[in-house]
């Protein structure tokens, strides 16, 4: 089990923010120089083996390492991020945190954006499916580095409520565009990545 997890960490460390060609991400794993791999390995095996590693963590850890090159300090910050509002529950195989956050968004949408709520319900759009990637990466896979850094900083300060507020604001602003769409696939792809552009 550990070998499979470390294999996944190695694979994800090598493809995180690949297009940016960042040295600390492309360093050799076998020589112990890949800071992202090292951080995720320590977290998964020593700091929180019950959670271990799941995809999405790599983007958050990489974003932290961009600003905090000291691996020990970056690992501590990463651990604190996942402790904030029990965010680590986002990475348990049953993803209970994902369902909780999406339930909160659904309830707020029903009250604050009823037209969008009805549209998504009619199209049978499952929020957990369209929001899993942005939530599990704290938006670092859909935003620029500077925007993702701001989201991470605000999450550290305000936690889950900030993330919910961001998503509600995005949906409020992009709702009119979504309402014009009639195809499930188009709505799904737009809500998964396009609405953050």
Q: What is the CATH number of domain 2-88?
A: 1.10.8
What is the chain's mean pLDDT, rounded? Answer: 94
CA trace torsion 121, 192, 59, 146 (10° rounding): -110
Superfamily of domain 96-196 in the CATH hierarchy: Ypt/Rab-GAP domain of gyp1p, domain 3 (1.10.472.80)
Residues of the chain with CATH 1.10.8: 2-88
pLDDT greater than 90 at residue 8: yes
Give the pTM: 0.94
Q: What is the pLDDT of residue 20?
A: 77
pLDDT band at 118 (very low <50, low <70, confident <90, very high): very high
pLDDT band at 14 (very low <50, low <70, confident <90, very high): confident
More confident residue, 14 or 68: 68
Q: Which residues contact 110 (CB under 8 A, 6 or more apart)?
A: 117
pLDDT in tens, 37-63: 999 999 999 999 999 999 999 999 999
Q: What is the pLDDT of residue 1?
A: 74
Residues of the chain with CATH 1.10.472.80: 96-196
pLDDT greater than 80 at residue 135: yes
Q: What is the pLDDT of residue 76?
A: 98
pLDDT greater than 80 at residue 152: yes
């Amino acid at each position: 089990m550990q070998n499979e997890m470390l294999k996944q960490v190695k694979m994800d460390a090598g493809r995180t923010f690949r297009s940016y060609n960042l040295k600390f991400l492309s360093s050799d794993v076998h020589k112990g120089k890949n800071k992202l791999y090292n951080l995720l390995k320590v977290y998964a095996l020593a700091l929180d083996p019950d959670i271990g590693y799941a995809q999405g963590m790599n983007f958050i850890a990489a974003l932290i390492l961009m600003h905090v090159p000291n691996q020990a300090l970056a690992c501590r910050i990463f651990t604190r991020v996942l402790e904030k509002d029990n965010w680590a529950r986002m990475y348990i195989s049953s993803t209970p945190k994902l369902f909780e956050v999406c339930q909160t968004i659904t309830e707020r949408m029903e009250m604050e954006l009823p037209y969008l709520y009805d549209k998504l319900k009619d199209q049978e759009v499952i929020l957990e499916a369209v929001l899993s990637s942005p939530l599990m990466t704290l938006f670092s896979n859909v935003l620029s580095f500077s925007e993702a850094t701001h989201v991470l900083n605000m999450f550290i300060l305000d936690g889950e409520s900030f993330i919910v507020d961001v998503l509600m604001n995005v949906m409020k602003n992009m709702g009119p565009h979504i309402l014009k769409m009639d195809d499930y696939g188009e709505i799904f792809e737009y809500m998964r990545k396009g609405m953050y552009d």
